[in-house]
Amino acid sequence: MIEAFLVMGGMGVIIGAGLAVASKVFYVYVDPTVEKIDDLLPGANCGGCGFPGCAANAEAIVEGKSSPDSCVAGGTELAEAIAEVMGMKIEAKEPDIALLGCTYGTKDAAIKFTYDGLSNCQAAAMLYGGMKECQIGCLGLGSCVAACPFGAITMGKNGLPVVDEIKCTGCGTCERVCPKNIITLSSVTRRILKEYTTDDCTTPCQRACPAGINISEYIHQITQKNYHKSVQVIKERNPFPTVIGRICPRPCETDCRRQLIDEPVAINFLKRFVADYEMQSNDRVLPFKAPETNRRIAIVGGGVEGLSTAFFTARLGHSPTVFEATEKLGGLLRTAIAQYRLPHDILDWDIEGIVEMGVDTQTNQTLGKDFTIASLLAGDYETVFLAAGGWDSRTERLKDAAPEKTVPGTFLLIDLLKTGTDNKYQLNIAKNVVIAESGKLTPDAIKACKTLGAKKVTVVFKNSKQTTALDESEIKALESNDVTIMFDSTITGLAGKGNHLTQITVNNDMDIPAGTLILESGRLPELIFSLPKPEGEQADETEKPKAPADQLEWIAATSYKNPEHGLSNGLLTKGDVITDFSAAIHAIGAGRRAAASIHHILYGMDLQLPNHVVTQQTILQNVTHLENVTSSARQIMPLNNINDIPKISPEIEKGFTEQMAVAEANRCLKCGLVCYADQSVNMQSNIRESS
């Protein structure tokens, strides 16, 4: 017995020693922060966060690959608790839902294929590319249905997925398994920030619209007599539907596929009809907004672009204030368009809708006189966007008066040359001057700057030396006069302190000390001003006390350009607005892009547009002829008698009646990328034919 105890005791000592050694050898360190977060998570392991279990999500949160509010099974309190462990703060999460991006299913396709031996979309896409005429369209095998962990997706009768918005948690599982990017996550923010790509099923009219309105959808809602829903679709991308319905140049109609048979659909007149319906019923349609972020944005300029920027910024959850130098908002829409084309009460209706979105406005407030960029940034505003207009709006407001002091140290070339040797405009020219894109007037600009006190002058050209407006002898003469000339260069940023310019960035990586910037263009650039963030500082860390306005350091960058002009950035590059007389619909698109740029700057995110963004130069599948489409005449806009203007009606055009609008809407072919309505069966049918 004693021997047995001794043997057992000896074995216990040996095993214990072995375990002690093993614990040292095979010890795995577990991050205590990961443990704390894992303990907070509910342990549901539902996969809704996109990771295989709560432990994996906890690790991802600590590594920055997942957010504190990523757990779809938890609520706001859980997200706040996780954020506290991380030493962070979070804002209200905007709900995501899955959104379908295809117009018709396999059951409606004219050409059908059998996926022999294949049971899911991924296999069909990998082996056969999907075996469909449309390279983007839904394959209809239901992989998203099988993958959804919450039973929120079913296959509809037409072979397309149907999303239950109540059950959908926005987890993104369906998006990850869809090989054709048909089903994606959608939210207000995602839709505002989005640029259309070759992965999207877009229509010709939608691609041609500078604002990117989902035209076929709002017209479809008219056929169903859902006029308020139609306005809702329009306001996703256009805050001025009543105005644009009267003055748009209608590039969408130029690309309307219907003209392959007879005449384009009267797209813009249909927009006017539903917008007028909203106004006449006095039942305002307000588009969806993201949760409030309490981030205040200042927008200088109450024209189309400034108001559009404010509209989309408010929809992103921020709190914008528009500062306008004149008595009334509207810019050139109010001053340059005859009222028989655009009555002021129509303009005011759309502006009031923008204000109702949560936009504050202050009129009779002039930048450089009543406030400065530095004073706004030193106050409650995190960013300032400059949309003050061009030479045309300035001429309207100032006539021959001296230029306003808006962007610190920045002047237009025309003002420099007009100020004369006596400097009648009192331009403050610094010792270090940068002149941008001055062309043949470069020698005159340099001479004027040096006459007014400049010591060092740098000239920046975006073109090469061989293609610039100066010849070789002129270039050598300038360089011999101690002038630095930079070719193939673009000004990409400004920096300053208080009301003074201190530095200019060229090509994103070269900083040039400068107190004055001279621009050849007829307007000041549309810049976004913000406070520089020290290295390593959290993007949402805004509670440190700000310096006084005269000591406040700031930086400025441009918003991203229309993708039509590539991914170039910087001042005076292709795609920059030169005049406010360009179509208002273009200014609306620019306002959305400005809001997107501001949003990225607020959160410290790099703005990277997808390489496969759709432009007019993008090669896409398309339709060159139509079959089985019955010809039908376009509705003609009825006009008022010229003698009745303005006695009875203030406008030339009467607008469509409801009967005319529904008839015209039914002319729409309800296009997809390479599909359109098969009218040989029934004009009202949902049957579609692949060309």
The DSSP result for 560-591, as a single string, is PPPGGGTT--STT-TT----TTS-HHHHHHHH
| C-alpha dihedral sign at 160, 166, 167, 170 | positive
In whole angstroms, how far apart are CA 249 and each of 245, 582, 660?
10, 10, 21
458 forms beta bridges with: 434, 484
Structure tokens given for 495: 């920096």
Q: Is the pLDDT of residue 691 over 50?
A: no
Read off φ and ψ for residue 24, nearest 5 degrees.
-80, -40
CATH superfamily of this structure's domain 31-90: Electron transport complex subunit B, putative Fe-S cluster (1.10.15.40)
In whole angstroms, how far apart are CA 542 and each of 319, 374, 381?
16, 16, 11
What is the CB-side half-sphere exposure of residue 361 using CA atoms within 13 A? 26
With DSSP H G I counted as helix, E B as strand and the rest as coil, what are the percentages for the chain, rounded to 5? 35, 15, 50
Q: How far is the C-alpha of 439 from the C-alpha of 529, rounded, in Å?
A: 28
In whole angstroms, how far apart are CA 562 and each of 246, 310, 590?
24, 18, 7
- Mean pLDDT of the 423-433 span: 94
Check whether domain 97-186 has CATH 3.90.1150.10, yes or no: no
Q: Give the pLDDT of residue 686.
A: 36
Q: What fold, for 204-286+621-690?
A: Fumarate Reductase Iron-sulfur Protein; Chain B, domain 2 (1.10.1060)
What digits encode the pLDDT tens for the residues 73-132?
666 677 778 877 766 666 666 778 888 888 777 776 666 666 666 778 888 787 766 656
How does residue 15 score in pLDDT terms, banded at 50, 70 and 90? low
Average pLDDT along the chain: 84
Give the residue among 405, 404, 406, 425 at the shortest CA–CA distance from 416. 425
DSSP state letter for 519: E
How does residue 685 score in pLDDT terms, banded at 50, 70 and 90? very low
DSSP state letter for 613: B
How does residue 683 score in pLDDT terms, banded at 50, 70 and 90? very low
Q: Please, are residues 657 and 635 in contact by the beta-carbon 8 Å criterion?
A: no
In whole angstroms, how far apart are CA 601 and each of 187, 421, 560?
20, 41, 12
Burial of 650 (0-12, 13-18, 19+ CB in 10 A): middle
Bond from prior residue into 646 cis (ω within 30 degrees of 0): yes
Q: How far is the C-alpha of 222 from the C-alpha of 376, rounded, in Å?
A: 44
H/E stretch holding 456: strand 456-460
Q: Is the pLDDT of residue 72 over 80?
A: no
Q: How far is the C-alpha of 399 from the C-alpha of 125, rounded, in Å?
A: 63
Give the 3-state secondary structure of residue 489: coil
Give yes or no on whether 204-286+621-690 and 364-534+546-602 have one common fold. Answer: no
What is the CB-side half-sphere exposure of residue 578 using CA atoms within 13 A? 6
Read off φ and ψ for residue 375, nearest 5 degrees.
-70, -35
The one-letter amino acid code at 136 reads: I
Check whether domain 364-534+546-602 has CATH 3.50.50.60, yes or no: yes
- Mean pLDDT of the 202-230 span: 95
Give the residue among 512, 30, 461, 118 at the shortest CA–CA distance from 129. 118
Q: Please, are residues 308 and 240 in contact by the beta-carbon 8 Å criterion?
A: yes
Read off φ and ψ for residue 5, nearest 5 degrees.
-65, -40
Q: How far is the C-alpha of 434 from the C-alpha of 460, rounded, in Å?
A: 7
Using only C-alpha atoms, the chain has a radius of gyration, in whole angstroms, of: 30
Q: How far is the C-alpha of 288 from the C-alpha of 186, rounded, in Å?
A: 12
Note the pTM of the prediction, 2 decimals.
0.86
What digits encode the pLDDT tens for the residues 407-416?
999 998 988 9
Q: Please, are residues 393 and 580 in contact by the beta-carbon 8 Å criterion?
A: yes
Q: Give the pLDDT of residue 159.
A: 84
What digits encode the pLDDT tens for the residues 446-494?
999 999 999 999 999 988 888 888 889 989 998 888 899 999 999 999 9
Q: Please, are residues 352 and 601 in contact by the beta-carbon 8 Å criterion?
A: no
- Token look-up 């400068």 returns 514
Question: What does the domain layout of the chain look like in residue ranges?
Answer: 1-30, 31-90, 97-186, 204-286+621-690, 364-534+546-602
Q: Is the pLDDT of residue 538 over 50?
A: no
